Amino acid sequence: MKEQKTMDICLLGASGSVGESTLKVLRQFPDAFRLHSCSVHSNEDKAKAIIDEFSPQVLVVTSKKAKRTLGTRYKNSKIYYGEEALLDIVSATEVDIVVTAIVGSAGIFPTTKAIESGKKIAIANKETLVTFGPYINGLLQKHPVAMIPVDSEHNALFQLLEDRQGIDTLVLTASGGTFRDLPLEKFKDITLEQALKHPTWSMGPKITIDSAGMVNKGLEVIEAHFLFGFPYEKIEVVIHPESIVHGIVALQDGASLLYASHPDMIFPIAHSLFYPEKVPALLLERKAHTWGALHFRSPEAARYPALPLAYAAGKRSGTAPAIFNAANEEAVSQFIAGNIQFVHIPQLIDASLQGLEISDSPDLQGYLEADQNARQFVADRVKKGML
Ligand code: NDP
Ligand code: MG
């Protein structure tokens, strides 16, 4: 293999679930990648552990409290505070690859700055793509950087689509979440603790709740549209409870190609970091004989009302996907805070899409306003008990 330069990584959201899996890849390939810089929001313990192990040049904290307790310098690493500092680390000259593993649409400014600075991007932060898709795609036309999806389904599709002709439809697989077999009459009693258990993936709390109601798959349908340019009619979802097959491309002749792996984010992360090179070593032992039977079925609309809402928002376009995403982010926070029931989440998304004005071709400010308005709309409704 030809000698590669060690790539400098800027990892946003280093303390989260994707952040942790990314650090695992860096640990496995110390000659290929070095942690130049990273960010955490408030997790001081993880920040300290990362500094001790990886000695990044800069660590950015975005919550005031963590900044106070971490100080400004810790061993060999500088510690900076705030969103401006995120823009500085993603655009630092030394950085080759930016991994965006922040949760929520807060990822927008670092992502745009990374694109404008010509960095290769491994994008996990799907909320940014869903909210600002056309804006990001416009920026990518001006600054054609490589943006590799880390989301497992999209990473699988990205690999299946490479150098291939004659593809008709993209199929995203979905585990169906933790309530895939729960009788519908029990949905009103779902607790936070139950919603935080995922049957196959280990992930952060917000995406785990998103997965339970398939809001996550709705976000992913819109994400796939913006990443690959397929119309919504050509993006399908199939429930696959075992989470072994991550993406399917259906060919024009009626046959399909499938991408399969053990459900571990190490695969899409390593792929996106090494891209366009191939991952040069075994990541996890392939144990196809342990997969057992693989099942596929259609999602029922009554169980997953957020999925048709996502398709409708995607097809409506303009600020509708931003409203879908922000209403969900606020509703999930309200559910975590114990203010609403699980079943209220899709209802609040629906009410936001019905009740808020949708702008057809907004600029960046228009998307940001739509995002803020939807959060406010949901918060107000919850406060007034309009559920
Ligand atoms: P986690 O909740 O585990 O981690 C979120 C990260 O973002 C943490 O580092 C957190 O810091 C940081 N963060 C939280 N709020 C803010 C904020 N306002 N500003 C800056 N940073 C913030 O999430 P996941 O790792 O599960 O998910 C990250 C992203 O990747 C999401 O967009 C998700 O949809 C996507 N994704 C995740 C997958 C997974 O397997 N987990 C799979 C596919 C996509 P702190 O810990 O200090 O609070
Ligand atoms: Mg996914």
Q: What is the pLDDT of residues 72-84, one digit of tens each?
A: 667 688 999 999 9
The predicted-structure confidence for 93-119, as pLDDT tens digits, reads as follows 999 999 999 999 889 999 999 999 999
Determine what percent of the chain is predicted with pLDDT higher than 70.
Answer: 98
Report whether the peptide linkage leading into residue 276 is cis, meaning its omega lies within 30 degrees of zero: yes
Q: How far is the CA of 50 from the centre of ligand 2 (A)?
A: 25
Q: Return the C-alpha torsion angle 108, 109, 112, 117, nearest 10.
A: -150
Q: The pTM is what?
A: 0.97
Residue 205 near residue 16, CB atoms below 8 Å: no
Residue 1 has pLDDT above 60, yes or no: no
Taking alpha carbons only, the member of 304, 299, 314, 302 closest to residue 353 is: 314
Tell me which residue has its CA closest to atom 20 in ligand 1: 41
- Which residues sit with their C-beta closer than 6 Å to ligand 1? 13-19, 40-43, 62, 101-103, 106, 124-127, 151, 201, 203-207, 265
Residue 203, phi then psi, degrees to nearest 5: -140, 175
Tokens of 134: 């056309």
DSSP string, 168-226: EEEEEEE---TTTTS-GGGGGG--HHHHT--SS----HHHHHHHHTTHHHHHHHHHHHH
**Which pLDDT belongs to residue 65?**
82
Mutate to test the pocket of ligand 1, among 23, 37, 41, 108 (most ligand atoms within 8 A of CB): 41
Q: How far is the CA of 165 from the centre of ligand 1 (A)?
A: 35
Q: How far is the CA of 13 from the centre of ligand 1 (A)?
A: 6
**Which pLDDT belongs to residue 75?**
66
Tokens of 208: 């785990």
Residue 159 near residue 279, CB atoms below 8 Å: no
Tell me which residue has its CA closest to atom 36 in ligand 1: 124
Q: How far is the CA of 200 from the centre of ligand 2 (A)?
A: 12
Mutate to test the pocket of ligand 1, among 11, 18, 105, 219 (most ligand atoms within 8 A of CB): 18
Q: How far is the CA of 175 from the centre of ligand 2 (A)?
A: 10
**pLDDT confidence bin for 7, thresholds 50/70/90:** very high
Give the nearest ligand 1 atom to 265 CA. Answer: 40
The predicted-structure confidence for 183-213, as pLDDT tens digits, reads as follows 999 999 999 999 999 988 899 999 999 999 9
Residue 9 near residue 33, CB atoms below 8 Å: yes
Distances in Å between the Cα of 55 and the Cα atoms of 13, 51, 58 are 16, 5, 8
Ligand nearest to the CA of 38: 1
